[in-house]
Amino acid sequence: MLEQGLTYTTTTTVTEEKTAKTMGSGTLEVFATPAMIALMEEAAYKAVQPHLEEGMGSVGTYLDVKHLAATPLGMTVRCEATLIEIDRRRLVFKVTAFDDSGVIGEGKHERFIVNNESFMAKTNAKNIR
């Protein structure tokens, strides 16, 4: 059952593949903002997925995130997502990312609960035009 307060934490190590230089979001070998956002989305969807009915999932629709500090190669990044609001199919999360030195990013992330089959059918219908 979905309820406010559900939390999930996920971690990753900053590798060359997750740097701004490699991901194309900058020129430095530091943890990329797109990699941080992906980690935040992962934590949010994993927080709720076990509580959804079979065949249901969630899709990200909105992010309001600040990347506050750089993280070097080799360091671990941890992200916590906490479900703070439920409005029918709309879910809002507080997301926070940390490295060994403290908070590196924070914000809100919104997801919508969808029927996976219907969602994919509608999406794939775009190719028929």
CA distance 58 to 84: 16
Produce one character per residue of 72-88: b if its CB has 16 or more CB atoms within 10 Å, e if not.
eeebebbbbbbbeeeee
User: Which is the catalytic residue, given 19, 67, 71, 109?
Assistant: 67
Q: Which DSSP category does 53 fall into?
A: P
Task: Tell me if 6 sits within 8 A of 83, measured CB to CB.
Answer: yes
Whether 41 is a known active-site residue: answer yes
Catalytic residue among 10, 12, 19, 41: 41
Q: Is 51 a catalytic residue?
A: no
9, 22, 29, 33: which is the annotated catalytic residue? Answer: 33
Instruction: Specify whether 67 is catalytic.
Output: yes
User: Is 32 strand, coil or helix?
Assistant: coil
Active site (catalytic) residues:
33, 41, 67
